[in-house]
Amino acid sequence: MMRWARSIEHRRPHQSDRGSVSGFVVVLTFAVLSCAGLVIDGARVVGAKVSAADHAENAARVGAQQVVSLRNGQWVLDPTRARNSANAYLAAHGLNGTVVVSANRLTVTVRSTVATTLLRLVGVSSKTVRATRTSDPISR
């Protein structure tokens, strides 16, 4: 009987072992929240990138429709009207961007900032996405 009681005493945790599990739980919780942040906020960033690309493409199309000199067979962009049309599209949708007209080509760059939710816990409060699309008037 004495031998059995001694083996139970051996199995009792020592005072120095107290709280060792709580450190593991803190690290594990932090890792799980970080992974969830990457999934949730990463999906929001990808969605914002796709939306920015879509709007940049649409603004470039709107601007590329501002052609002149159709009667003589040349498709030439009117730079002022093309820039104004693309900027009007961006303003109508509440977007920040730049419009560049060079030669017979219109380039639109849209920038958007996405606020993070869970990644804010690890110090990433926002992410800026950018998309650039180009359009040329063509005849078919």
Give residue for tokens 């816990």.
Answer: 121
| 76-128: pLDDT as tens digits | 888 999 999 999 999 999 999 999 998 789 999 999 999 998 888 778 899 99
Largest CA distance in the chain: 111
- Cα–Cα distance measured from residue 37 to residue 136, given in angstroms and rounded to the nearest whole number: 40
| 127-138: pLDDT as tens digits | 999 999 999 877
- Cα–Cα distance measured from residue 90 to residue 58, given in angstroms and rounded to the nearest whole number: 9
